[in-house]
Every structure is written in structure tokens, then in C-alpha cells.
A and B are shown apart, each in its own frame.
Chain A
């Protein structure tokens, strides 16, 4: 099937006083229609910046997309004008954030905010938009929609607000929904409800989801395809079953070992030793080398490339590049 979104060799950098942060460095990723792709990785690995690059929010954040392309259907998002982008955002590609509490305007009623994309993109009248807003709010599992619509954001709980954000995001029938850690700020029980909601909405509408998370539990629940990011690069990607059953990259293995398993008591939760490297001090090497138990000489001096390992996954690790290592 033709890809809905294809990110190719994306490079997004931030020039700071201390040096250039290569927040996303040569990332390629494909999303097919109806597919849920998860980007997983520790905090600071470049997940949000990847999503923001797709949305065209990098300029606002003070960074710059230095290379690559982002093809959505048959358009390169990086080449569109401000206005063309605006008609795609909220309409064909929607996004929800980590903090529902601060993602809504505190001085506007919920309804006032939900009707806006409907009026903007679908050109609905105020009245029709309000009617549709009530339906949408019901659709995301809020029962007292008629009342909620006249409430202010501070009167609702985080879980409710995230539902409202989802209602706004799906209001114009997007083909792609980007969700950046949509459940991280929420209570555990609510997390599961929100994930369920996303899954059922996806099934109803057939949209694709790009889900960003640091939680492998979420990946297991949601993903068809996984990309594991580390220090601005994808270190392993593949079908979710393959990755979980047979992780190749030592970082992925570490992540899986540190994942708490439901109903299974362990004395102590494993965590990968060491810390994410300082993005300003990266030199040509496998960026994971100082935390890797299998680190070899070459790992310190040369960067491994993402190569096919097995049938449905790819990894960037010298362990799987036998030939090159001795060449």
C-alpha cells in the first residue's frame, strides 16, 4: 500500500550558544494508511522534535529543518507555504499534546474551542459547528456533552480535557493523528481509557496514528510498527511483534528488560545503566556505546548504519554488520 506519510533523512537542528544540537539526525520513517506507528525512546531522544518537524512547528521553537523531506500523500510538507500548511493542519493532520491542562485556552469555554476547527476547515456555521461539537464530545466518551460544552477548561479533569483535545483533533476527519505522549500526564487508570478511545476511533475512521511514548506498555497496546529512537537517531525499527519477540539492538533489549510486566513481581526493576549522552558532545560513534554491555572497539569510532536484520526489522548496531566490521 502507498505510504500516507514518509519521512526521509530528516535532520532537525537547534543552533544554541553552546553549539548545534542535532535533535533529529537522519531519521526515515513511513506510515501506511490505517497504521499505528510508535516512536519510543527515553526523554530527549528527539521524538517530539520529529513530530514537530512534521507539523511545521520547528521554526516557532527556534530550530531549523536542515535536510530531508516529509512527504504527506503527494506533497512535501517542508516545501509548502504557511497558508497551505495551515489548511492541512487540524484538517488532514491533527496533533494532541502531553499536557491537556495547558493545551486549551483557559479563558474560553470548551465549546468555543471545539467549534473553531469545524468553522475554519469545514466552513460550518456557528450553529452547525456547535451541534457537531456536541456529537464529537459524545463520541469521545463524555456523556454530559451539553453541559461540558459551556464549561471552562479549569473545571474539567485532565482525562476529560484530553478527551476534549482528541475530539478537536478528530473533528475534521484527519488522515493522520500525531499524539505526543498523550497519556504521560494522566493517571494510570485514565491512561488505559484514553488509549482505548484512540484505538476505537482509529478503527472507526481508518486514520493512521503516529504515537510518541517512552512507555513500552503503551507500544504493546497500540502499535503495528515501532521505531526506537536514541540521541536523535532511529536505532531499531520493525513490526511490533518482531521487536518484542526478538529485539536486536542492545538499547531495545535494555528498554524491554526495564519494562514492568503486568502481574509479574520482580524484586528490582532493571534500568539501563548510565545516561543519555549530552547532545552537544556527540562524536562519530555508536551513541549508545558508553552504556552498552557489548561495546566493541569500532563502536567508539564509527557510526553503525540502520540495516535489515531478520525479515521485518532493522537495527543500527555493529553486532549485525560482521562483514563491515573487519573490512
Chain B
């Protein structure tokens, strides 16, 4: 770094053409993200998915989901672009309505698990000692049990206890958060441990700042990039897990449609072989959404991950 030359100007070391000094780190990151074509594509796909699912059904004449025995299992044609299902309902409309549920479950469980994971990770990493031990042993315990079998067991229990289908969606969100916070908490804690070794944290100690200031003004902003990346990738994971659960009839139950329980059609040999329009659209939706979220998340990581920063 050319300290000498820039120092002589007694001013800010900034490119001349970059007139506004306040170009924040966020703006730089954003610029780098936009340059990553793959990530932008991923983001576009996610946005399109969200818009289609949340706005699309308003333009469909079939949202009442009336059972129409005269139009059962019809292949795609002009009036029903993706055909109709076993009860004569429009598949396209149902895929979009299912998307609402699947995306909501993914988002909500992400928010919850990021909240729990961040909070516990910060507490563990900042206070260390006994609290750290407790939180991390609990996390280890949850991490040693593979999450899918764990989800299956809880799902089976719920069915056993006859939980009303209306509530299952919320319980599924909760389940997904419970299995995904430990990995998150561990990452946040790791980041906290490396942050507290950084010299600027030494400086906050030397300045006699309070814990509150150190945590919320110094540590949290440095965790935000990591949290954003984790949160993004977490949505993809949650959507996938929800689909798997629902596919096996252990997640969200019909009549509430989700992509997972729609693919259930593929369980039926005839449907699987003869009526691909029943399971291909929800399958493709899951595939496209999860892949797009992961590509976007990876792009974000490249830009934001502290390990790669400078």
C-alpha cells in the first residue's frame, strides 16, 4: 500500500473518479455480485418463482379448486396448460398455490432457525465457558442425528397423535428450524471466536466499551454478511426437506398443497408412467427453486464471505 504518496495529500485515499467517498462496503459488494452472471440468473429465477406463486393464482380461473369429475387426469391442452389432476383440478394453479405454501414454509423456518442459530451462536462465542459448552453440546447432539431420519420420526409421531392438518404446516416449520439451527449456531460461533481475536476487538476492550456496544455495534455488523449467506442457503435446504417430508406424507398434508405432497402422484405406477404432468411440474419447481437459491447463495458467499474479503 502506498502510504507515503497518499499521505502527502493529507486526504482520503480514494480514486479520483470515485467522487462520493461514502461508497460503502455494501455498494462494492453489490457491484461485484451483479458482475456474477450465474448468481444474477439464480436470483432472477427465485424472484420469478416467488412472483408466479404469490401473484400468479390471481390470474387463474381455477383457484376455487372445484372437483370436476368430467375432467379427471386430462393431459395438458389450451384450457389447462399443465393438464388436470385426479380430481379434475387445474395442475398449474395447484402448483402455484403449492408454491406459496412451500416457499412460505421455507422462508419462515429459515427466519426462525437463523434467529435461534444466530442468538445461540453469538452467546456461545461471546461468553464462552459453561454457556458455550451447554449450547454446543446440545448442537452436537442434534447434529449427530442425521436430520432426515429425525424429521421422519417427529413427522410419524405427529401423524400418530392426529395433529390436525391445518396446524401441520406450522409444526413442520418448527421442525425444520429445530434441525437446522445447530449448524448455523456453530458457524456463527466460529466466526465470533475469530472476530474476537481481531485487533479491532482488542481495541474495543482497551477503549472500555460495554458488552452491549461490543456485541451490537462491533460484532453483529461483522456477522451480517455470514448471516445473509447462511440464511439464503438455508431457504433452499428447508424447501427441500419440507418436500421430502410431505412427499412421504409426514409433512404438510393434503388438502393443503405443497410441491412435496403433489409429487406424491409419482408413487402411483400408472400416474408415474402415463401422467407425467401430475408430478413433473411440482418436481421441476422444487428443482429449479432450490438450485437457483443455492447458486445465488454461492454467489453471495463469494462476495460477502469474510474469509475471501481482502
Are B222 and A90 in contact, CB atoms less than 8 angstroms apart?
no
Give chain B residues whose Cβ lies under 8 Å from the Cβ of A107.
25, 221-222
Are B206 and A89 in contact, CB atoms less than 8 angstroms apart?
yes
Q: Please name 15 pairs of A and B residues whose Cβ atoms are closer than 8 Å in the assembled complex, sorted by A.
A: A85-B208, A86-B208, A89-B208, A94-B206, A94-B207, A105-B221, A120-B207, A121-B208, A144-B12, A150-B21, A157-B6, A159-B7, A168-B207, A186-B3, A190-B7
B residues with a Cβ closer than 8 A to A are 1, 3-4, 6-7, 10-14, 21-22, 24-25, 196, 198-200, 202-210, 213, 217-218, 221-222, 310
**B203 is contacted by which of A91, A104, A142, A159 (Cβ under 8 Å)?**
A104
Interface residue? A285 (CB, 8 A) = no
State the CA gap A122–B206 with chains docked (Å).
Answer: 16
Give chain A residues whose Cβ lies under 8 Å from the Cβ of B207.
89-90, 94, 116-117, 120, 168
Are B3 and A147 in contact, CB atoms less than 8 angstroms apart?
no
Give chain B residues whose Cβ lies under 8 Å from the Cβ of A103.
199-200, 202-203
Are B217 and A155 in contact, CB atoms less than 8 angstroms apart?
no
Give chain A residues whose Cβ lies under 8 Å from the Cβ of B13.
155-157, 160
Are B206 and A57 in contact, CB atoms less than 8 angstroms apart?
yes
Identity of the chain B residue whose Cβ is nearest the Cβ of A95 in the assembled complex: B206
Interface residue? A97 (CB, 8 A) = yes
Give chain A residues whose Cβ lies under 8 Å from the Cβ of B310.
154
CB distance from B217 to the nearest CB of A (A): 7
Give chain A residues whose Cβ lies under 8 Å from the Cβ of B11.
144
Are A108 and B218 in contact, CB atoms less than 8 angstroms apart?
yes
Interface residue? A55 (CB, 8 A) = yes
Identity of the chain B residue whose Cβ is nearest the Cβ of A121 in the assembled complex: B208
Interface residue? A102 (CB, 8 A) = yes
Give chain A residues whose Cβ lies under 8 Å from the Cβ of B210.
86, 120
Give chain A residues whose Cβ lies under 8 Å from the Cβ of B198.
102
Give chain B residues whose Cβ lies under 8 Å from the Cβ of A144.
10-12
Which residues of A128-162 are within 8 A (CB) of B? 142-144, 147-148, 150-152, 154-160
* Known pairs A55-B206, A105-B222, A187-B4 / 7 extra A-B pairs, C-beta < 8 Å: A86-B210, A105-B204, A106-B25, A144-B10, A156-B13, A159-B3, A190-B3
State the CA gap A147–B310 with chains docked (Å).
Answer: 24
A residues with a Cβ closer than 8 A to B are 55, 57, 60, 85-91, 94-95, 97, 99, 102-108, 112, 116-117, 120-121, 142-144, 147-148, 150-152, 154-160, 165, 168, 186-187, 189-190
Tally the A-B contacts, defined by beta carbons under 8 Å: 113
State the CA gap A59–B24 with chains docked (Å).
Answer: 35
Are A158 and B1 in contact, CB atoms less than 8 angstroms apart?
yes
CB distance from B86 to the nearest CB of A (A): 55
Give chain B residues whose Cβ lies under 8 Å from the Cβ of A120.
207-210, 213
Identity of the chain A residue whose Cβ is nearest the Cβ of B9 in the assembled complex: A157
Give chain A residues whose Cβ lies under 8 Å from the Cβ of B24.
152
State the CA gap A41–B38 with chains docked (Å).
Answer: 55
State the CA gap A99–B13 with chains docked (Å).
Answer: 18
The 10 closest A-B pairs by CB, nearest first: A90-B208, A89-B208, A90-B207, A102-B199, A95-B206, A105-B200, A157-B6, A187-B3, A86-B208, A103-B203
Are A148 and B12 in contact, CB atoms less than 8 angstroms apart?
yes
Give chain B residues whose Cβ lies under 8 Å from the Cβ of A147.
12, 21
**B12 is contacted by which of A57, A112, A116, A155 (Cβ under 8 Å)?**
A155
Give chain A residues whose Cβ lies under 8 Å from the Cβ of B221.
105, 107-108
State the CA gap A85–B207 with chains docked (Å).
Answer: 11
**A60 is contacted by which of B203, B205, B222 (Cβ under 8 Å)?**
B205
State the CA gap A89–B207 with chains docked (Å).
Answer: 6
CB distance from A155 to the nearest CB of B (A): 5
CB distance from A181 to the nearest CB of B (A): 13
CB distance from B40 to the nearest CB of A (A): 24
